[in-house]
Amino acid sequence: MDNNVKTKNDVCLHAEKVSKIYPGTKALDDVSFDVLTGKVNVLIGENGAGKSTLMKIIAGIEQPSSGKIFMGDEEVTFKDPKDARKYGIGIIHQELSLFPNLNVFQNIFMAKEKTKGKFSLDNQAHMEAANRILEKLEHPIDVNTLIGDLRVGQQQMIEIARNLIQDDLKILIMDEPTSSLSQQEVDVLFKLMRELTAEGISIVYISHRLEEIMRIGDHVTIFRDGKFVADDDVKNIDIPWIVHQMVGEGKSYPKKERNIDWKKRDSVLQVKELTLPKSGGGYLLDKVSFDLKKGEILGIYGLMGAGRTEVFECIMGLRPEHTGTVILEDKVLNVKNISEQIERGFAIVPEDRQREGMVQTMDIGKNISLSSLKNYLKGIFLDNKKENENVDEQIKDIHIKVADKRLPILSLSGGNQQKVVIGKGMLTNPKILLMDEPSRGIDIGAKTEVFDIIHQYAERGLSIIVVSSELKEIVAIADRVVVLSNGKKTGEFMGDEIKEDSLVLASYHGHHAH
């Protein structure tokens, strides 16, 4: 793995063959990783590549299924973040983990309180230390301000300050710290990072902004599908190399060839200038237009926060504040609420299966029939026979491996749970199926099956939109791909134009370090 010289002295933390297995999926697969002392160690990879998982393990938030972590010659195990903090490891999360109901110094010293005597809080010391650290960060903020009243960028600074308060900080992990910062704040942050590394603190830096990485990074490590792919010093590499390594050439899912002249097909759905304002200014979606042909699989690709899921939310009526036109089969729709949209022939397979897709308290069969119960009525009562027939047929159609449909839904594997959610949508006989990250959190085998299902339904004439942040997935299944970046449509690709590199480039459009 090594063509650049690393001696033991350069490495302040070494992860040896770490794996993390979640039910149904392997998030990290035998990964070894070095944190170089006093460097900005950049970690990069697609969503789901395992970056955040590894960082959580190093910070003690998650425990590895197998593998070891060394600091110096000592093997260390972290039961919880407090353990990791004892060894000087701090983490700044992708999602802020502050207490909006408490003020700045309370947040900074949470669980690290200083006391006069044993019990009495020494707020004077808290305030002084907080002021000192904020000055160092060039962000003088009144330390009595409530966190909830601060801008997101300022909150990010508090999150950083919280880690710096630690005297013996050795490693600082930053998971996409710049995603909500202004350019000025990014400059301050980078300056600070330089100061920290000059003091000998090692930084692990996760980011999607490639230009930023070239600017601030010292050493880059690339992950893909939970595996280590490559690493090198920043001075030896360029952006195309990174993209190439992220995307890889290895296995991809078999592409289903479809010889259809899409120009001759009618549009089922037209979306024109879909716009969704963001609370606090700006747009989550900015005049996004696209159409969907009958039997087509349209992919929507973009990074996190690009507006992918919001497109679905608008179409399903979950965002009544949106503007723009939605036309279903030449009829302009007034999109108001979701049950109406389902009656009109839309069905959605949500992004988060556990939180939005299934009802954990219900059995498998009821989870499948939930959306279409009205179709199985005899008088005012449910006709069990009719319901069971439809459910059984769907289970067969979609190959759900189930011993008994009266078992709880949680007894199924992730892949089969996902098929249940898809089956539920299909039982409403939709014209248009919206799938948000349909293969998230399921293993490779199940993924392929889900792709086959999508393909089959499209062949039968169902029009499908698939939102995905997984390149290989979208390349394998989509007939056409729309790329979103920062709420804008930045590319549309058809047939042979659908290449991983071009999708990635379009998705970073507007993500440059201004």
What does R_g of the chain's alpha carbons equal in angstroms? 25
Q: Which of 75, 356, 392, 393 binds other proteins (CB under 8 A)?
A: 356
Q: State the Cα–Cα distance between residues 228 and 473, nearest whole angstrom.
A: 20
Q: Which of 177, 295, 350, 491 binds other proteins (CB under 8 A)?
A: 350
Partner residues linked to 194 by β-bridges: none
Burial 332-345 (b: 16+ CB within 10 A, else e): ebebeeeeebbebb
The edge-to-edge listing of strands for the beta sheet with 11-22 is 25-36, 11-22, 66-71, 74-76
Query: Under rule CB under 8 A, which residues in 286-345 are in contact with other proteins?
Result: 316, 338-339, 342-343
Tokens 């490779």 label which residue? 444
Output the smallest distance, CB 310 to other proteins, in A. 15
Tokens 């910062």 label which residue? 181
Binding span for other proteins by CB under 8 A among 4-12, 204-212, 404-412, 471-479: 404-412
Q: 479 and 259 in contact (C-beta within 8 Å)?
A: no
Partner residues linked to 193 by β-bridges: none
For residue 279, count CB atoms less than 10 angstroms from its CB and return exposed for 0-12, middle for 13-18, buried for 19 or more.
Answer: exposed
Strand (E) or helix (H) holding 71: strand 66-71
Output the smallest distance, CB 476 to other proteins, in A. 26
Output the smallest distance, CB 403 to other proteins, in A. 7
Strand (E) or helix (H) holding 173: strand 171-175
Site string for other proteins, 186-225 (x = CB under 8 A): ----------------------------------------
Q: Contact between 355 and other proteins (CB under 8 A)? A: yes
Q: Which of 413, 488, 499, 513 binds other proteins (CB under 8 A)?
A: 413
Q: State the Cα–Cα distance between residues 490 and 330, nearest whole angstrom.
A: 26
Q: Which of 77, 101, 182, 360 binds other proteins (CB under 8 A)?
A: 360
Number of residues that bind other proteins (CB under 8 A): 34
Output the smallest distance, CB 408 to other proteins, in A. 5
Q: Contact between 230 and other proteins (CB under 8 A)? A: no
Output the smallest distance, CB 449 to other proteins, in A. 17
Q: 351 and 309 in contact (C-beta within 8 Å)?
A: yes
Output the smallest distance, CB 381 to other proteins, in A. 5
Output the smallest distance, CB 400 to other proteins, in A. 13
Site string for other proteins, 425-464 (x = CB under 8 A): ---x------------------------------------
Output the smallest distance, CB 404 to other proteins, in A. 9
Output the smallest distance, CB 378 to other proteins, in A. 10
Q: Contact between 182 and other proteins (CB under 8 A)? A: no
Binding span for other proteins by CB under 8 A among 150-158, 194-202, 278-286, 353-361: 353-361
Task: Look at residue 328 and give its three-state secondary structure.
Answer: strand
Please, which residue, 123 or 413, has the CB nearer to other proteins? 413
Query: Under rule CB under 8 A, which residues in 2-41 are in contact with other proteins?
Result: 23
- CA dihedral angle for residue 507, residue 1, residue 39, residue 174, rounded to 10 degrees: 40
For residue 179, count CB atoms less than 10 angstroms from its CB and return exposed for 0-12, middle for 13-18, buried for 19 or more.
Answer: middle
Q: State the Cα–Cα distance between residues 511 and 210, nearest whole angstrom.
A: 9
Q: State the Cα–Cα distance between residues 93 and 196, nearest whole angstrom.
A: 18
Q: How is residue 472 written in tokens?
A: 């290989």
- The 8-class DSSP code of residue 256 comes to P
Binding span for other proteins by CB under 8 A among 283-291, 355-363, 389-397, 456-464: 355-363
Distance of CA 33 to the CA centre of its chain: 22
Output the smallest distance, CB 312 to other proteins, in A. 10
Q: Which of 121, 377, 445, 456 binds other proteins (CB under 8 A)?
A: 377
The site for other proteins (CB under 8 A) is made up of 23, 316, 338-339, 342-343, 348, 350, 355-362, 366, 370-371, 373-374, 377, 380-382, 403, 407-408, 410-413, 424, 428
